[in-house]
Amino acid sequence: MLVTTLILGLVLGGTYALLALGLTLQYGISRIMNLAYGEFTLVSAFALVALFKGAGVPPLLAIVLIAPLGYAVGWILYAVMMRPLVARAGDAGRLDVASILATFGLMFLIQGGLLVTFGADFTSITYLDQGVNVLGVPVALNRLIAFAICVVAGGGLVLALGRTRWGLALRAVAQTPGSAPLVGIDVNRVARQGFALGTALAAIAGASIAMHQTFSATDGVVFTMKALVIVIMGGVGNVAGTLIAGLALGLVETFVATAIDPGLTLAATFAIFLVVLLWRPQGLFGRR
């Protein structure tokens, strides 16, 4: 039973962590509190379904197509919409307020567009959902794939941030945006890259959600909030922290559902989240 809980929890946590990766980059590096994040993932989820059902594109190939599109969309959005907000905001508090307001509008815009285009109905596809035996526990193959994507994307990101010059610049902007220009870093460019990369990750997360879950055009807020909780717990901008926090959350939910009461899973999520915040406001792995 313990093995079952462990495996189911890790697989669930993997999908959570993948969902949160993009947001931690957007908020950590670009300083944009993106309330439309969940809508970004939904757009990608709908795109995957449309590609699969309309054009017969296999979902795994569709993800490869959607991700760069997400990068491009994020790049443009940052340049057109977010950059002016950053330029005029001055300090972090004002930027938070401005970006919350602006992305709240964006959220309505995208949700309205999705409702008009795809309707209010539930959407899902059936793809690779046969069970696979993992240490005696049956797990759906599409969830395992999502977990693998999470490991690859998260691991790749950790390596890229830690080992490359580009990653160094990103981390510098994330930690001390004020002094980054002093060492010759173009903060605007890095922030744009961070936002675009975050959007690409949101697109990947959305596409993998479409493979294993039923969703509808009004689900965006749920995704945003889940991602936000994980980002804050893991420490804003901390990719490794986000991965660990996501996995931990999946484990806790599964454990509470099996050992205590499924009725308390969401309550447990928020309780742990609040405790973490009070105990370490900078997140489990954030630096002061």
Partner 1 sequence: MKIALSLAALVALALAPFGVSDYGLGLLIGAVTYVTLASGWAVFSGHTRYVSLATVAFYGTGAYTVAVLNEAMPYWLVLIVAGLIGAAIALVVGLSTLRLAGVYFVIFTFGLSELVRQLITWYEVNVTGTLGRYIFLDVSAREIYWQMLALGAATIALTAWIQRHRLGLALRVIGDDEVVAAHSGIPLARTKLTAFVLSATILTLAGAIASPRWVYVEPSIVFNPTVSFLTVIMALLGGANRLWGPVLGAVPLFLAFEWLSARFPDTYPIFLGLLFILVVFALPDGILAGLERLKTRKTEDRA
Partner 2 sequence: MTNFSRRAALRAIALWTAASTLIGGPALAEGDKVRIGYAVARTGANATGAGITTIPNYELWVKTVNAAGGLKMPDGSQRMIEVVEYDNRSSNEDLVRSIERLASQDKVDLILPPWGTGPNLAVAPLFDRFGYPQLAVTAVTDKAPDFVKRWKRSFWLLGGGHDYAEGLVDVLKAARDAGTINNKIAAVSVADGFGIDLISGARPAFKQAGFDLVYDKSYPLGTSDFSAILSEAKASGADSFVAFSYPPGSFGMTKTAQSMGFNPKVFYLSVGGAFPIYPGIADGKAEGVMAIGGVNADSPAMQEYFARHTKEIGNPPDSWASAITYASLQMLEQAVARVGLDHEALANELSTGSFDTVIGTVKLEDNQLRDLWWVGQWQGGAFRAIDPADKPGASAPIIPKPAW
- Closest to partner 2 by CB, 58 vs 131, is 131
- Which residue of 88, 163, 189, 287 would you call a contact of partner 1, by CB under 8 A? 88
Which of partner 2, partner 1, none does residue 140 bind (CB under 5 to 8 Å by kind)? partner 2
Among 10, 12, 21, 107, binds partner 1 (CB under 8 A): 107
What residue 175 binds from partner 1, partner 2, none (CB within 5 to 8 A, per partner kind)?
none
Three-point CA angle 38, 36, 17, nearest 5°: 35
Q: How far is CA 281 from the centre of its chain?
A: 21
State the Cα–Cα distance between residues 108 and 163, nearest whole angstrom: 39
Q: Which of 175, 188, 265, 282 binds partner 2 (CB under 8 A)?
A: 265
- What does the alpha-carbon distance between residue 244 and residue 247 come to, in Å, rounded to a whole number? 5
Among positions 10, 11, 18, 228, the unique one binding partner 2 when judged by CB under 8 A: 11
**DSSP letter (8 states) at residue 81:** I
Q: Are strands 137-140 and 131-134 parallel, antiparallel or unpaired?
A: antiparallel
Residue 106 binding partner 2, by CB under 8 A: no
Distance CA 133, CA 167 (A): 37
Which one-letter DSSP state was computed for residue 256?
A: I
∠ CA 244-93-281 to the nearest 5 degrees?
35
> How far is 147 from 135, CA to CA, in rounded Å?
16
- Which spans of this chain sit near partner 2 (rule: CB under 8 A)? 1, 4-5, 8-9, 11-12, 111-112, 115, 119-122, 124, 126, 129-131, 137-143, 212-214, 216-218, 222, 253-254, 257-258, 261-263, 265-267
- Which spans of this chain sit near partner 1 (rule: CB under 8 A)? 27, 33, 81, 84-85, 88, 92-93, 96-98, 100-102, 104-113, 115-116, 221, 225, 228-229, 232, 236, 261, 263-264, 266-267, 270-271, 273-274, 277-278, 281-282
